[in-house]
A and B are shown apart, each in its own frame.
Chain A
């Protein structure tokens, strides 16, 4: 039973929906995707292929020019509530310490929003516990700029998850990190997902990351983006970094790469 359904969706930028032809960029064409509840999927593809657009469609931040996006059986017409999002750049608020940054969604999302002030201590505790699970136990009082890039991304993941969203959208969350930090964070994200299940859509151009983390990898073609292949990832969890060097894993990564650049010798 699919939780997120993207049904034959086109997206034009710079043109009103409904117009037949005209200027503008066709960012996504005939996109069809079906994501099960609590499934962890990755969307990979060359840069500019409309991967991020796909996230915006799912979250309702942009409306499809044609076709339907459904989340939980409901057609998405305006921004969903209760979605968690994390980006490549740290989007922590520089005037709040790490804990208050993580608590931000609880100030906006119901039912937390209308909870009385007496709940504040509990919420703080909850934020601290979540920070501890990503290795930031003692960093709640620090300001974002005092943290390294990897630590900021850990905090960003916490903020995306504190309100227990049913959908987590990740837009190249580890893209700006060095290779070692990135691999460390794969494990962090895997643990988070294993302990608090939600439907995750990860956009990335790092194929190893996609195969390591996901149930299904969708490959998107260069613009206009079309879903040209999908590969199920059969490896059991929790996955380890060692697995990423095993033959089956490498083979799957190569297969994905072949879909993006067929016949390329690179």
Chain B
């Protein structure tokens, strides 16, 4: 088999093997399905509740993406500021670290007091969980610009904006895309947590209702849906990454010949 084919198949095979292992474990140890359902039961639940899961899945997806989009814009701007101005870095970084150490799940009830039950707390939770890696990565990209490069531009009379546009942003794009892949998965965590705690909609809400009915297979069905959405979004950003930062993964085009 070709190397590329093997690499394309590898993640599917691994997933399948894990599911088989799970199925066998449940069968061999006779685990009750209200403790841990088998993957077949979970998938049966997905099929049985396909319309509800689709509707709630889309609701979760949209709150997640709204929160994520805000996080990307906010994180990018803050990262540029933190990375290019020493004073901003010194004054803001400890605050950011402290803020990120706060468990966001604990904030959701407060968000509900402020904004009421619904999708607003979920959007905010998705945003709060995911902006931090974007800030840190973009700031790192900016802060590690070679000083000689800055000198080359300064003696041409470049403005600070020139530096940001010509060097800072392209230089930090690989860091930025790496952070997007982390941030999108964290966004799902944020929105689903908020839906569990205070949602009237979304996958998290499905899980809350299912677990209160001891319908554990449906809980796992919902978990699988979130997982699949997360992987799908990850794949989209990974594809964007290869499209925009090919220069930083030099040689990969030669390492994986796609001839034939």
Asked if A199 is at the interface (CB within 8 A of a chain B CB), the reply is: no
CB distance from B161 to the nearest CB of A (A): 11
In the complex the two chains form, is A95's CB within 8 Å of B152's CB?
A: no
Cβ proximity bits B141-165 to A, threshold 8 Å, 1 near / 0 not: 0000010110111111110001000
Residues of A within 8 A of B250 (CB): 94, 143, 145
CB distance from B134 to the nearest CB of A (A): 20
Pick from A60, A82, A105, A110 the residue with the most CB of B within 10 Å. A105
Residues of A within 8 A of B155 (CB): 59-61, 79-81, 83-85, 169
B contacts with A: majority SS:
helix
CB distance from A86 to the nearest CB of B (A): 8
Other-chain contact of A91, B146, B245, B248 (Cβ < 8 Å): B146
Interface residues of A in 58-75 (CB under 8 A from B): 59-61
Interface residues of B in 236-260 (CB under 8 A from A): 245, 247-248, 250
Q: How large is the interface on B (under 10, 10 to 19, 20 to 34, 35 or more residues)?
A: 20 to 34
In the complex the two chains form, is A93's CB within 8 Å of B157's CB?
A: no
Chain A residue at minimum C-beta to C-beta distance from B162: A108
In the complex the two chains form, is A85's CB within 8 Å of B157's CB?
A: no
Residues of B within 8 A of A79 (CB): 154-155, 157
A88 to B44, CA, bound (A): 65
Given contacts A61-B155, A82-B157, A94-B247, whether A108 and B149 have CB atoms under 8 Å apart is no
Residues of A within 8 A of B166 (CB): 93, 104, 107-108
Asked if A87 is at the interface (CB within 8 A of a chain B CB), the reply is: yes
Asked if B170 is at the interface (CB within 8 A of a chain A CB), the reply is: yes
CB distance from A174 to the nearest CB of B (A): 15
Asked if B167 is at the interface (CB within 8 A of a chain A CB), the reply is: yes
A161 to B35, CA, bound (A): 72
Chain B interface residues toward A at CB < 8 A: 146, 148-149, 151-158, 162, 166-167, 170-171, 173, 245, 247-248, 250
